[in-house]
């Protein structure tokens, strides 16, 4: 086997550095959720029971917002639909693509909750504004969405799922979480420079 010349070795090293740099610099929105969707949804189901405004509803309708053109989003949608029908939850699908008039579409969706899957290029702040105006609770597929204005997400702390709540966003959506839930959750705030 011939040894690699210094010129080729340096080129390979530069290429490896570029690949690593790109991998670390990609926006978090292009990655999968920290916690599997099935775990998120099971926790959300318990969270809804601790919200005074949702606890007594006979059925909760969850609008799963996703992008058909983004594999991570469609995987989350598929997992949500597999989970749908448990207990008192019914999921409906809402496809958001680049050509969709998001505001017009979301104004027509009849749901108690928006579950926002990981998406590329979606205006999460717009989704949050519409949810607040319509008093629809939001659940985030990515915890970064909490910094943009969605209300509840599930992250990882010390290798364990951790409920995260943007309390200002949750109140604006009409949530009334009980104290035990708030005490065991990590409270975050909207970062106006997050996007």
Domain boundaries, the chain: 27-188
Which pLDDT value is given to residue 86? Answer: 67
Which pLDDT value is given to residue 193? Answer: 65
pLDDT tens-digit series, residues 153-180? 999 988 889 999 999 999 999 999 999 9
Fold of 27-188: Rossmann fold (3.40.50)
Contact present, 164 and 188 (Cβ < 8 Å): yes
> What is the pTM assigned to this prediction?
0.80
Could you say which residues of the chain have pLDDT below 50?
7-9, 11-30
For residue 91, give every residue at least 6 positions away whose Cβ sits within 8 Å of its Cβ, in sequence order, or none. Answer: 61, 62, 63, 64, 80, 81, 83, 84, 85, 115
């Amino acid at each position: 086997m011939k040894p690699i010349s210094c010129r080729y070795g340096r080129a390979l090293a530069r290429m490896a550095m570029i690949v690593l740099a790109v991998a670390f610099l990609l926006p978090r929105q292009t990655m999968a959720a920290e916690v599997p969707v099935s775990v998120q949804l099971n926790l959300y189901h318990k969270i809804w029971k601790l919200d005074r405004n949702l606890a007594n509803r006979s059925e909760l309708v969850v609008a799963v917002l996703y992008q058909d053109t983004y594999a991570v989003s469609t995987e989350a949608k598929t997992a949500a639909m597999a989970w749908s029908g448990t207990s008192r939850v019914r999921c409906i699908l809402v496809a958001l693509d680049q050509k969709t008039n998001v505001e017009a579409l979301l104004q027509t969706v009849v749901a108690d909750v928006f579950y926002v899957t990981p998406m590329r290029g979606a205006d999460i702040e717009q989704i949050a504004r519409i949810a607040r105006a319509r008093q629809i609770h939001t659940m985030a597929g990515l915890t970064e969405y909490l910094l943009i204005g969605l209300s509840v997400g599930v992250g990882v702390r010390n290798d364990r799922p951790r409920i995260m709540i943007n309390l200002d966003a949750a109140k604006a959506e009409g949530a009334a979480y009980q104290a035990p839930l708030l005490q065991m959750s990590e409270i975050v705030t909207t970062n106006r420079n997050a996007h």
